[in-house]
Chain A
Amino acid sequence: MLIYTLKRVLLALLVALTVSILTFGLLHLSSDPAVALAGEDATEEDIQLVRVQYGFDKPLPVQYMTWLTNALQGDLGTSYYFGIPVSTLLAQRLPVTLTLGSCALIYAILFAVPLGVLAAMRPNTWLDRFCLSLAVSAQAMPSFWFGLMLIVVFCLWFPLLPVSGSDTWKHFIMPTIVLGTNAMPAIMRLTRTGMMDVLATDYIRTARAKGLRPNTVLLKHALRNAVIPVIAVIGIQAGYMMGGTVIIETIFALNGMGLLAYESIMYFDLACMEAVVLLLCLVFITTTFVADILNAWLDPRIRIR
C-alpha cells in the first residue's frame, strides 16, 4: 500500500509540473501580456512601460524559473490587476468556491445514488427509463443556459431567490443545483451499472435465499460493493466541478475562485491565471489521488495490480 501511495504521489507531482509548464508557455504565447495588461487604448509608450515594469522583457525560461522558484517557496506572485499577493486573493475567494463545490457534490450524490439504485432495482422499466432520461437531459444541458432558466423561473416569475451574489445561503441554491446537476449523470449511471452487476452475483442470491430483508440485501450487501467505482467517479467529478465553477460563478456573480479565473482571463492577469490553473490542477490531482487511495484501500486487488 505504501509503495502504491508513493507511486501515485510521484505521478501527481509530475502532472502538476507539466501543467505549470504548459500553462506558463501557452499563456505567454497566446498573446502579448504587456499589450493585454496596458488595456485597449494604450499607447506604445504605455505598453513599453508595462513590459519593463512587469519584467516581460526578460527571456521566457528566465521568467518561468523565477515564477517556479517563488511558487515552490509559497510565493505565487502579485496579481498584476489587483495589486495584492495572489495567495491573499486565493484565500479570499477559495471559501466561496469550496462552499459551492461541497454543496453541489452533496446535492449530486444525494440525488444520483438513490436514483441509480432505483434504476438498477427495476431495470428496463419506466422507472429506469425515467432515470436515464434525467441523466441524458442533465448531461446535455449547457450549464449557462440552465442557470439562466433557473433565474428566469425563481427570480422573475416566482421571486423566491436572489438573482446573484454570495451574501446569504439563498444565493447558493441555484448555483448548487446547476453545478450539481451537471455531475449527477455520471454518478447515477455508474451506480446503476455497479448495482446491477452486484445484484446478479452469487452472494446476493445467497443473501436473499437466507431470507434477509430486501432493504438489508440492497443497502448492506449490494450498495457497499457497488459504490467502489462510484467513489473514483466522485473524485473526478469533484475536480470537474472546480472547473465548472468558472461558468457558474460568472453567471451568478459569486465572488469565488471560478469568477477569479474568469476575471484573470479577461484582464490577462498572468500571475493570477497561473496560480488559479495550478490550484485547480492540484485540486483535481488531490481528489483523484484520494479516490485512488480509497479504492485501493476498499479493494485490495487494485493495489496488487
Chain B
Amino acid sequence: MLKKILKRKFVSSALVLSMLFVFGIQSGHAGKKDDTLNVGTKTELGNVDKFFNANRTGMLVQRLFTDGLLYTDPVTLEIKPALATSWKWINPKLMEFELRKGVKFHDGSEMTADDVVYTLNYVSDPAIKTKGSYLKNIDHVEKLNAFKVRIHMKEPYPLMPNRLAGGISIYKKGCYDKNGSLSQNINPNGTGPYRLTKILDGKGFAFEKFDNYYKDSPKGQPSIGKIVIRIIPEINTQIAEVLSGGIDWIFQVPTDIAESLANNPRVTLEQAPSMRIAFLMMDAAGRTDDNSPFKNIKVRQAVSYAVNRGEIVKQLVKGSSKVIHSACKPDQFGCTEDVKRYEYNPEKAKQLLKEAGYPNGFETKLFGYKYRPMVEAVMNDLAAVGIKTNLNWGTYSGMRGAWQKGKVPIALTSWASSSLSDVDAILPYFYKMDKNDLSRDQEVSDLIKAGGSSADSKVRLENYDKALKLMAERAYWLPMFSVGMNYIFSNNLEFVAPNDGLPRLFLTKWKK
C-alpha cells in the first residue's frame, strides 16, 4: 500500500525531473556575479508588514527589514537581546526592557522608547485589524525614559518573550499615522539588516544591505549586497528557475522533489526541522455522537497501537521528520517525550477493540486537509485492525469549521506553533474546554492553564509535564510526526538552516 501511495505521489514531479536529467541542463548561476540573492517563494504578500499578514513569506520578509526587541537564534532557539539589551519580568503581567542605544532606522533616525511605545500601542489597539490575537493581550506600553519601557499585559502571558523575538517588529513613531495599515507598503522603514527598496506589485520585493546596521546585532552583519524575492506559485517552475540559474534559493520544497534534486551538482539540499507537528485527533468527548466509539479509552489506545508511524515517516514523510510521542514538538519548552508510548502493535490494537466491545471493528469518518499519502496510510493501518474509515477530504478551514461544530470523529491535522519554541503555542488551543477541544478533560485543561499563567519556569514545566503525561495515557491524540522543511539552493551559497522552520536570509553568504 505504501509503495502504491509513493508511486502515485511521485509520478507528476518525476516526469518533469526525469526529462531534465536525461537530456541535461544548460545553466549558469547569475546571482553571485552581481551580488544579488534571487529568492523564489510561492506566496504573495498583501502587506509587507507582518502585523497585517499571516504567512511564512511574511515572516521571511519581516526578519530582513525589521528587528524586534528580542531575537530567536535559528540554531539554538535561544532568545537573545536585539533592540532591547536586557529584559525582566516584574510580575506575570508586566515586563521591563532596557533599549539599545545607537540603533538607526533605515531613514537615518535613531530608535528610542517612543518608537517602541508607538508601535506596540498601535498594533495592540483592538480597533486595528492586526493578525494575531496575542497582540491584543498587550494592555499598553509605558515609557520610563528614552531607553526604557514596560509592557503591561491584560492576562499573564509567559510566551511574550518568544512573541517579541518572533513576529513583533518595531517601527518608527508616527509611521501608521498617514497611511494606516498600508504604511509599510508605501514607505517601508525598519531597523533590520536589509532595506526594503522596492515592492514589485504581484511580482516580489527587492532589498539592499543596510550599511548602518547596528554592530552588536544578534543577527550579525549582512553579507550579500542585494536580495530579490520573486513570487513563483508553482513549485515545478521554481525548480526550473533554480536549475536554469534564475533563482538561487527556494524553500518549502516537497520531500520527493527535493530528494530527486539532491544529486544535481548545481544545487544543495538542506533538510531541517520546523515547529510543525502532525497528529491524529480523536473525539474523546463524544461531540459527534454520544455513542461515539472514541469516547472509549480502549478504542483510542487501539488506534494508537494500530498506526505504523515509524514506517509512515520512513517511507512517506522522510527528510528530517521524526516520529513523536507527545502532543508537542520535542524541542519546545515544556515538551516532554517521557510519556506513555504506543509502539506499532496491530494485535494489541485488535485485542483492545475486542475489550472495548468492537470485536469486528467499526466504521467512521476520517477528516484530512494535507499529507494525503500519510492520511491514506493511516486509513490502511486502521482498516487492518477493523476500523473502516471514510475519508472526508477538504480545506483546512472546512475541516476546522466541522470540528468546531462537533462533526469530526477523527482527523489528521497539524500545527506549526507560529514557529515558537514553547508548548504554550500549541496546547492551550486544543485543550481549553471550548469548541476546539475534542477531549474536554477539565484536569488536563486546568494543568495547561496553570502552566500558561505563570512566568516561573519551574511551575510551568511541572504543569505541562503532568498534562502531557495524562494526554498520552488517555490517548486523546496520536502524535504522528514532526514536519521537516526542505531548502534547495545554489551550490555557491552558504545557508544556515533554522531549527524552527523560519529561514533567516540575512545569514546567507556566497561561498568564497
- A residues in contact (CB < 8 Å) with B: 30-33, 35-36, 38-46, 49, 53, 79, 81-84, 92-93, 145, 148-149, 151-152, 155-159, 162-166, 250-253, 255, 259-260, 262-263, 266-268
Contacts and interface: CB of A to CB of B under 8 A. Distances in A.
A163 B398 contact: no
A92 B201 contact: yes
B459 interface: no
B453 interface: no
B415 interface: yes
Contacts of B244: 155-156, 159, 163
B162 to A, nearest CB: 14
B309 interface: no
Interface stretch (B86-94, B206-214, B231-239, B288-296): B231-239
Interface in B418-445: 418, 429, 432, 434-436
Contacts of B400: 32, 35
A255 to B, nearest CB: 3
B254 to A, nearest CB: 15
Given A83-B182, A165-B230, A157 B434 contact: no
Contacts of B16: 148, 152
B202 A255 contact: yes
Contacts of A251: 234, 236-237
A65 B306 CA distance: 52
Contacts of B20: 152, 156
Nearest to B19: A152
A246 B503 CA distance: 30
Contacts of B185: 83
A31 B240 contact: no
B198 to A, nearest CB: 13
5 contacts: A32-B400, A45-B136, A148-B237, A164-B230, A255-B201
A156 B129 contact: no
A84 B202 CA distance: 13
B132 A93 contact: no
A253 B233 contact: yes
Nearest to B234: A251
Nearest to B133: A45
B26 A159 contact: yes
Nearest to A34: B397
A153 B110 CA distance: 53
B131 interface: yes
Contacts of A157: 23-26
A83 B47 contact: yes
Contacts of B232: 164, 253
Interface residues on B, range: 35 or more
Contacts of B432: 44
A247 to B, nearest CB: 9
Contact of B46 (A43, A46, A83): A83
A256 B489 CA distance: 28
A42 B396 CA distance: 11
B233 A262 contact: yes
B510 interface: no
Given A41-B418, A83-B182, A164 B237 contact: yes
A250 B395 CA distance: 20
Contacts of B24: 157
A145 B236 CA distance: 10
Nearest to A53: B129
Contacts of A39: 54-55, 131
B201 A252 contact: no
B361 to A, nearest CB: 32
Contacts of A260: 202
Given A41-B416, A83-B46, A253-B230, A46 B132 contact: yes
Nearest to B419: A41
A82 B23 CA distance: 42
Contacts of B52: 83
B319 interface: no
Interface string B233-272: 1101100110110100000000000000000000000000
A31 B398 contact: yes
Contacts of B236: 148, 151, 251
A182 B276 CA distance: 41
B490 interface: no
Nearest to B55: A39
B220 interface: no
Given A32-B401, A44-B435, A255 B47 contact: no
Given A84-B182, A92-B202, A156-B25, A42 B54 contact: yes
Given A49-B136, A253-B232, A44 B429 contact: yes
Contacts of B401: 31-32, 35
Contacts of A82: 46-47
B182 A163 contact: no
Given A41-B415, A83-B46, A151 B397 contact: no
A255 B231 contact: yes
B395 A36 contact: yes
A66 to B, nearest CB: 18
Contacts of B132: 46
| Interface core residue of B15, B237, B432, B434 (most chain A CB under 10 Å) | B237
A40 B396 contact: yes
A45 to B, nearest CB: 4
A250 B237 CA distance: 9
A45 B133 CA distance: 6
Contacts of A44: 429, 432, 434-436
Output the residue of A149, A253, A266 with the most chain B CB within 10 A: A253
Contact of B133 (A36, A43, A263): A43
B381 interface: no
Contacts of B365: none
B416 A40 contact: yes
A44 B415 CA distance: 14
Interface centre among A32, A46, A164, by most chain B C-beta atoms within 10 angstroms, is A164
Given A93-B202, A156-B26, A253-B203, 19 more contacts: A32-B397, A32-B398, A38-B54, A39-B54, A39-B55, A39-B131, A45-B133, A148-B16, A151-B236, A152-B23, A155-B240, A156-B27, A157-B25, A157-B26, A162-B246, A164-B241, A253-B232, A260-B202, A266-B233
Interface pairs A-B: 3 shortest CB-CB: A255-B202, A45-B133, A39-B54
B397 A36 contact: yes
Nearest to B434: A44
Contacts of A267: 46
**Which of B43, B52, B133, B243 has the largest number of chain A CB atoms within 10 A?**
B133
A31 B429 CA distance: 21
B181 interface: yes
A156 B23 CA distance: 9
A156 B240 contact: yes
Nearest to A156: B25
Contacts of B243: 156
A83 B181 contact: yes
A283 B129 CA distance: 34
A165 B418 contact: no
Contacts of A32: 397-398, 400-401
Nearest to A36: B397
A262 B42 CA distance: 12
A81 B181 CA distance: 12
B131 A253 contact: no
